[in-house]
A = this chain, B = another copy of it.
Amino acid sequence: MLNERKLKILQAIIQDYIETAAPVGSRTLSKRYNFGISPATIRNEMADLEDLGFIVQPHTSAGRVPSDKGYRLYVDQFMPLKKIKAVELDYLVLDLLQEIGEIEQILQYSLRILSQLTNYTAIALAPQIKESKLKHVQLIPVDSSQMIVVIITDNGIIKKSVIKPNCEIDENSAQIISNFLNNELHGLSVKNIKTDLIETLSGEFVYLSGLIERIISEVFRSLDEVNNIDIFLDGVMNMFNFPEYNDILKAKSFLKLLEEKELLSNLITSFENEGLSISIGSENVYEEVKDCSLVTATYKIDDTVLGWLSIIGPTRMDYSTVVSVMTQISEFIKELLNNKYK
């Protein structure tokens, strides 16, 4: 039922619609592509494709538009993949990435590259500290009432946070406490650190001075604080170049979506596939993105998922380009991170 010719026509409709954003009619198709058949024949085929659910008609006298099911078939079966050209992929920037120490910055630059190459909006979820193991804790006194806690994890996350144990601590004591904490906490998973530590210390807990106890509880507090969802964005304005978002209400609701960190995070973290995940329009669970598509990749160190990169655009998205770009960039980042922290 889905013969060669129907597929070709479907592909033409999809590619044309992705390019022009206008419903595609039989005459346009026969003019623009060389099928060697007349518009009337194309019309018959299109009627079939509509029956099969791959395209829809916005209204009786309009051309056809791909349905989500149509995009899905296209993505799964016959979407052409491109190799990004060296001219476009700015190797200078990629080299620069090599030089950056902090994951957050690497992500931010990657988003810039992703959004500029695709013209959609790029989203990243920064690595969650709670999935990591502690490598080093350092206390630095700031003044009579404040200290900085610097936390370094085994996978290269660096966080700082200010705590206020209500007691004065000089530089020496800070160092001593740092050493103590490092001994006790080194290698513990941040997620379980509280229970683990209490277990470890249970024997000697009574010997701890009130001072250290206060600092430890402050450090715990700062771990929680530092652990909130960190979402990075780039190319938000790109969306407004698409006619889909000429409607102020649509634009507003898209911006609103990007402001809801919680929802965005849930949305993106639901893709845990090996490789890329593509979700198209109504395939998304959340109402807010039922007319968007997402192409999402994870980034890992040592096979544990650290965080996510995603590109979001209208369902009429140039899947071909997006998938190609995302594949290459996420591959690059994977290598980068694993070289760095292995």
Report which A residues bind B (CB closer than 8 A).
99-102, 135-136, 138, 140, 142, 146, 148, 150, 152, 156, 158, 160-164, 175, 236-237, 240, 246-248, 251-252, 255-256, 259
Q: Residue A150 contacts which of B100, B160, B237, B240 (CB distance < 8 angstroms)?
A: B160
Contacts of A252 in B (CB 8 A): 237, 240
Q: Are B142 and A152 in contact (CB under 8 A)?
A: yes
The chain B residue sitting closest to A147, CB to CB, is B101
Copies per complex of this chain: 2
The docked-state distance in angstroms from the alpha carbon of A158 to that of B158 is: 14
The chain B residue sitting closest to A222, CB to CB, is B101
Q: Are A136 and B146 in contact (CB under 8 A)?
A: no
CB distance from A59 to the nearest CB of B (A): 24
Contacts of A237 in B (CB 8 A): 252, 255-256, 259
The docked-state distance in angstroms from the alpha carbon of A148 to that of B159 is: 11
Q: Residue A101 contacts which of B152, B164, B236 (CB distance < 8 angstroms)?
A: B164
Besides the known contacts A158-B160, A247-B248, 19 further A-B residue pairs in the complex with CB atoms under 8 A apart: A100-B162, A101-B142, A101-B161, A101-B163, A138-B138, A140-B152, A142-B158, A148-B152, A148-B158, A150-B160, A158-B162, A160-B160, A236-B255, A237-B252, A237-B256, A240-B252, A240-B255, A246-B248, A251-B251
